[in-house]
Structure 1
Amino acid sequence: MTVLWLDDVTADDFDSVGGKAASLGELTAAGLPVPPGFVVSAETYRSFLEETGIAAELFDAVDVDASDSAALARAAERAQELIRGTEMPESVRSTILAAYDDLDDGAASVAVRSSATAEDLPDASFAGQQETFLNVDRSRLLDAVRDCWASLFTQRAIYYRNEQGFAHDRVNIAVVVQRMVDAERSGVMFTSHPTTGDSRVIAEAAWGLGEAVVSGAVSPDRYVVDRETGEVLEVDVSTKKVMHVRDSETGETVERPVPEERRDERVLSDAELERLVELGETVQAHYGAPQDVEWAIDERDTVAESGSEADAAAGGTDGDLFLLQSRPITTIDDDAGAEDAPDETDAADPAGATGAAGADATDAAAGAGADAASDGSWTDPSESAGPDAAGSGTADGGTRVDESGSGSGAAGDVALTGFGASPGRVAGGAAIVRTLDHLDRVGEPRTPPTRSRTATSSPSTATRAP
Structure 2
Amino acid sequence: MAREIKNVVWLDEVNSQSISMVGGKGASLGEMISAELPVPGGFAVTAHAFRRFITETGIADELFRVLEVNVDDDEQLKQAEARAKKLVLETDMPEEIKKDIISYYEELCRREGEEVFVAVRSSATAEDLPDASFAGQQETYLNIRGARQVLDAVKRCWASLYGARAIFYRAKQGFDHSKVDISVIVQKMVDAEKAGVMFTSHPTTGEPKVIIEGAWGLGESVVSGAVSPDMYVVDPFNEEIVSRTVSTKNIMIVRGEDGSTVEVEVPPDKRDAQVLTDDEILRLASLARLIEDHYGVPQDVEWGIEKGKIYILQSRPITTIKREEEVKLVLEGIGASPGIASGLVKVVHDVSELNKVHDGDIMVATMTTPDMVPAMKRAAGIITDEGGLTCHAAIVSRELGCPAVVGTKRATTVLEDGMLVSIDGEKGLVYLGRLEEEEKKETIPAPALSTYVPITATEVKVNLSMVEATERALATNPDGVGLLRIEHMILGLNQHPSLYIKEGKQEEYINELVRNIEVVAKAFYPRPVWVRTLDAPTDEFRSMKGGEGEPIEPNPMLGWRGIRRDLTDREHFMLELEAFRRLVEMGYTNIGIMLPLVQHVNELRAAKQLMREAGIDLEKVDVGIMVEVPAAALTIDQFIEEGIDFISFGTNDLTQYTLAVDRNNEHVSELYNEMHPAVLHLIEHVIQRCRRAGVQTSICGQAGSNPKMARKLVELGITSISANIDAVDAVRRAVMRAERQLMLDALREKQANSR
Equivalent residue in structure 1 for 2:226, among 217, 229, 234: 217
Q: What does 1:58-137 correspond to in 2, within 5 Å? A: 58-105=63-110, 107-137=115-145
- How far has the Cα of 1:122 moved from its partner? 2.2
1:268, 1:331 → 2: CA distance? 28
Aligned match of 2:298 = 290
Which amino acid in 1 is paired with 2:282?
A: E
Deviations 1:9-36 (A, max 9, x none): 1112111100000010011111110100
2:309 aligned partner, one-letter code: D
Report the secondary structure of 2:440's partner residue: coil
Aligned to 1:322, which of 300, 311, 316?
311
Amino acid in structure 2 at the alignment position of 1:334: E
Paired residue type of 1:107: E
Q: Distance in 2 between matches of 1:124 and 1:209?
A: 30
1:256 aligns with 2:261: no
Preserved CA contact (<8 Å) 2:67 2:167: yes
| Contact map agreement 2:253 2:263 (CA 8 A) in 1 | yes
Structure 1 unaligned spans of 5+: 300-318, 342-466
Among 223, 229, 232, the alignment partner of 2:238 is 229
- The alignment partner of 2:52 has SS state of helix
How many angstroms apart in 2 are the aligned matches of 1:107 and 1:128? Answer: 29
C-alpha separation in 1, matches of 2:106 and 2:312: 23
C-alpha distance in 2, partners of 1:340/1:30?
A: 28
The number of equivalent residue pairs is 321
In structure 2, the partner of 1:146 is 155
Alpha-carbon deviations, 1:425-452, whole Å to 9, x = none? xxxxxxxxxxxxxxxxxxxxxxxxxxxx
Matched residue, 1:19: 24
Q: Which is helix-richer, 1 or 2? A: 2
- Counterpart secondary structure, 2:282: helix
Q: 2:173 aligns with which of 164, 172, 182?
A: 164
- For residues 82-111 of structure 1, the C-alpha deviation after alignment (integer angstroms, 9 at most, x for no partner) is 111111111111110111001123601100
Does the CA contact (< 8 Å) of 1:195 and 1:331 recur in 2?
no
Kept in 1, the 8 Å contact 2:320–2:438? The answer is: no
User: Counterpart of 1:444?
Assistant: none
Code of the aligned partner of 2:80: A
Aligned AA for 1:90? E
Amino acid at match of 2:315: S
Q: Secondary structure at the match of 2:201?
A: coil
Contact 2:219-2:304 within 8 A present in 1 as well: yes
For the residues of structure 1 that align with 2:246 and 2:287, how far apart are their CA atoms?
Answer: 22
Name the structure 1 match of 2:440.
336
Report deviation, 1:337: 6.2
CA distance in structure 1 between the partners assigned to 2:76 and 2:243 by the alignment: 50
Rounded to whole Å, the distance in 1 between the matches of 2:250 and 2:91 is 41
1:37 & 1:236 partners in 2: Cα distance?
A: 35
CA distance in 1, matches of 2:29, 2:309: 17
Contact preservation (8 Å) 2:192, 2:304: yes
Instruction: State whether residues 207 and 444 of structure 2, in contact with CA within 8 Å, keep that contact through their aligned partners in structure 1.
Output: no
Residue 239 of structure 1 corresponds to: 248
Structure 1 segments of 4+ aligned residues over 4 angstroms from their partners: 337-341
2:213 to 173, 183, 204: 204
Distance 2:58 2:88 in 1: 11
Query: Which whole-Å deviations, capped at 9, do the CAs of 1:42-77 have from their partners, x for residues lacking one?
Result: 000011001111111111111111111111111111
Aligned pairs for 1:303-452 within 5 A: 319-330=308-319, 334-336=438-440
Farther-moved stretch of structure 1 (99-108 vs 110-119): 99-108
TM superposition score normalised by structure 2: 0.42
* 3-state DSSP of counterpart to 2:86: helix
Distance in 2 separating the partners of 1:331 and 1:75: 37
Bigger relative contact order (CA 8 A; separation at least 6): 1
Q: CA deviation at 1:261?
A: 1.2
Q: Relative to structure 1, is the Cα distance of residues 16 and 337 closer, same or farther in structure 2, using a 3 angstrom cutoff?
A: closer
Does the 8 Å contact 1:191/1:292 carry over to 2?
A: yes
Residues 246-274 of structure 1, C-alpha deviations (whole Å, 9 max, x = no match):
112x1111111111111111111111000
Amino acid at match of 2:279: A
Give the whole-Å Cα distance in 2 for the aligned partners of 1:284 and 1:165.
Answer: 34
Q: Percent identity?
A: 55
CA drift at 1:230: 2.5
8 Å contact kept, 1:46–1:172 = yes
User: Contact between 1:185 and 1:205, CA under 8 Å: does it hold in 2?
Assistant: yes
- Alpha-carbon distance between aligned partners in 2 of 1:92 and 1:69, rounded to the nearest angstrom: 35
Distance 1:229 1:340 in 2: 18
Return the offset for 1:163: 0.7
Deviations 1:303-343 (A, max 9, x none): xxxxxxxxxxxxxxxx11010011111156710268799xx
Question: Partner letter of residue 327 of structure 1?
Answer: R
Equivalent in the alignment of 1:174:
183
- What is the one-letter code of the residue matched to 1:140? Q
2:45 matched residue in structure 1 = 40
Question: What SS does structure 2 have at the residue aligned with 1:147?
Answer: helix
Amino acid at match of 1:127: A
**What letter is aligned with 2:218?**
L
1:141 alignment partner, SS class: helix
Equivalent AA in structure 1 for residue 193 of structure 2: E
Q: Is the 8 A contact 2:125 2:182 kept in 1?
A: yes
CA contact (8 A) 1:184 1:298 kept: yes
**Does the residue aligned with 1:219 lie in a helix, a strand or coil?**
coil
Contact conserved, 1:196 with 1:334, CA < 8 A, in 2?
no
Partner Cα distance (2:255, 2:212) in 1: 23
Q: 8 Å contact 1:118–1:172 — kept in the other structure?
A: yes
**Higher Cα Rg, which structure:** 2
* Matches of 1:78 and 1:131, distance apart in 2: 18
Q: Give 1:251's aligned amino acid.
A: G
CA separation of 1:289 and 1:258: change in aligned 2, threshold 3 A: same
Alpha-carbon distance between aligned partners in 1 of 2:31 and 2:441, rounded to the nearest angstrom: 32
| Ranges in structure 2 where 5+ consecutive residues have no aligned partner | 1-5, 322-436, 446-755
Amino acid at match of 1:213: V
Residues 333-363 of structure 1: CA distance to partner in whole angstroms, max 9, x if unpaired?
A: 710268799xxxxxxxxxxxxxxxxxxxxxx
Give, in whole Å, the separation in 2 of the partners of 1:77 and 1:241.
37
Conserved 8 A contact 2:206-2:444: no
Q: Does 1:276 align with 2:276?
A: no
Where 1:103 maps in the other structure, the secondary structure is helix
The aligned residue for residue 274 of structure 2 is: 266
Give the CA deviation at 1:240. Answer: 1.1
Alpha-carbon RMSD: 1.6
